[in-house]
Amino acid sequence: MTDMPPAPRMGRLPIAEWPAADAAAWTLARTPRAGPFSQNPPRSLATYGMYADGYAGYLWHLKSLNQLHPAETPAERVTRERLGSYHERLVRGGLADYTIVARFDGTSPSSPGPAMSRSARCWT
């Protein structure tokens, strides 16, 4: 296990505190272009909320470890090592499997969240 503070309850970084690049990417992702060739189709408000919660949890985790660097792009922020420590923290926090999957949906390169950059394919 890595050295990290215990996480009996996970926090979420409010969108107002997200780094500027992440907030801008999130705004863009929430205004998808409709059409048959759209790579980011419109989703429900509930789905956007789930993605925002997942990514906000990830950003909170990084901030708690002093690894939230505003100069990084959202794609640079999502690395295997950081995702691994986030997963470890979620498991240690006692979150159910489905909750963990939902949290990771927000950090997935295929989600419409800030980490959706195709260059962030860190788990393939």
pLDDT tops 80 at residue 116? no
pLDDT band of 63, cuts 50, 70, 90: very high
Phi, psi (rounded to 5 degrees) for 18: -65, 150
Query: What's the average model confidence in pLDDT over 102-115?
Result: 61
Q: What does the domain layout of the chain look like in residue ranges?
A: 15-33+41-120
Q: For residue 81, count CB atoms less than 10 angstroms from its CB and return exposed for 0-12, middle for 13-18, buried for 19 or more.
A: exposed
Residue 70 confidence (pLDDT): 92
Closest CA relative to residue 28, chosen from 48, 13, 8? 48
CA pair distance 24, 112, nearest whole angstrom? 12
pLDDT in tens, 70-106: 999 888 888 889 989 988 998 888 888 888 887 777 6
